[in-house]
Amino acid sequence: MFELAYPWLLLLLPVPLAMRWIKPAASAISAIKVPFFQQLSQLPIAKQTGHKSNATLGVLWCLWALLVIAASDPLWVGKPTGVPYSGRDMVLAVDLSQSMLTPDMQPPGVVTMQFQNSENYNRLDAVKAVVGDFIERRTGDRMGLILFADQAYLQAPLSHDMVTVNQLLQEAEVGFAGRATAIGDALGLAIKRLQERPEGSRRIILLSDGANTAGETNPLDAASVAANMGVKIYTIAFGSTENIRGTTRQRVTNEVDTETLQRIASTTDGEFFRAESTKELEQVHEQLDQLEPLELDELTVRPVLRLFFWPLGLALILSWGLALSKIHWQSLLERKEKEV
């Protein structure tokens, strides 16, 4: 639909006409007499003066109208379009310690009897498959990614681009940040990235298969800071208590510090989850979808295309044409005067 941003400027269109009603002040200076006026009036160029003046006047009126229309800022406004949006901000903190290479997971959809052909499917592979799918389902939210081991670092800032966040997760490898587990530093970095975001929308999802063995920040101290800022933390203790190789199962020591992860979640009014398999990790993220449903409110926007450059460009072309025409007539007049 065509609209004008400043339609009141169209009131300026008759201004040149009004200027013709204002007569110039009477002058006492005598007019200059032209002794060869009669001869000049008989020239063919003089007979075309009236026609030329009318054409020039028409061009000037068009120029004025085009400039006024350009100044009124014509717009082409498209149909209203609903854009889903959400004010929720989530930061995923994923453990990349050495223990994430433990091959005790099953690929999604693989039953136990078939697992003997998938011995190298480790915990990090399971996280990439399940958490990657969770990321891409969060259309409308803003998500960031933090990877941590000896240190914590920001892999992806808060963004609506879920495809890129997931790709960065898929490219992560154990050893990027060391071999230990700095849970406190990961929480501190996540809180720092969320401190400028609106209150009530700040979320952290922390996934770890170990205990805090590195870093300078105590995880519980970080949880207290998060609670004061209104940041809700969901913690996931991930990893099997059995080491599966082929058809044998061997019991291993559970190194996950579930007690600390539970206290972190309870301090911030979040939730604690225990996942010992890929299937349980999938169930955890299904529960997170229910706890943090997508906000599908729509923001109505209308695409706007500004069109002022069209009348402005046409006015420029007309002005060039008028100037060239004046130069042409002036050269003809000078040639005729020389002939006289």
Helix (H, G, I), strand (E, B) or coil at 173: coil
Instruction: Indicate the range of 109-118, 308-317, 326-335 predicted with least confidence.
Output: 109-118
User: For residue 165, is pLDDT > 90?
Assistant: yes
pLDDT (0 to 100) of residue 325: 81
Domains in the chain with CATH codes: 2-17+38-78+303-339 (no CATH), 83-298 (3.40.50.410)
Mean pLDDT computed over 285-309: 78
**Structure confidence at residue 246 as a pLDDT band (50, 70, 90):** very low
pLDDT band with cut points at 50, 70 and 90 for residue 42: low
Residue 336 pLDDT exceeds 80:
no
- In the prediction, which pLDDT does 249 show? 42
Q: Residue 229 burial (CB < 10 Å; 0-12/13-18/19+)? A: middle
Share of the chain above pLDDT 70, in %: 79
Q: Which residue has the higher pLDDT, 279 or 36?
A: 279
- Ordered alpha helix ranges (H), 195-305: 219-229, 258-267, 278-291
Poorest-pLDDT segment among 241-245, 260-264, 295-299: 241-245
pLDDT (0 to 100) of residue 117: 46
Pairing of strands 89-95, 81-84: unpaired
Phi and psi (nearest 5°) for 257? -85, 80
Spatial distance between the Cα atoms of 122 and 125, rounded to a whole number of angstroms: 5
- Going by C-alpha positions, the residue among 276, 199, 282 that lies closest to residue 244 is 276
Q: What is the pLDDT of residues 61-84, one digit of tens each?
A: 899 999 999 999 999 888 877 655
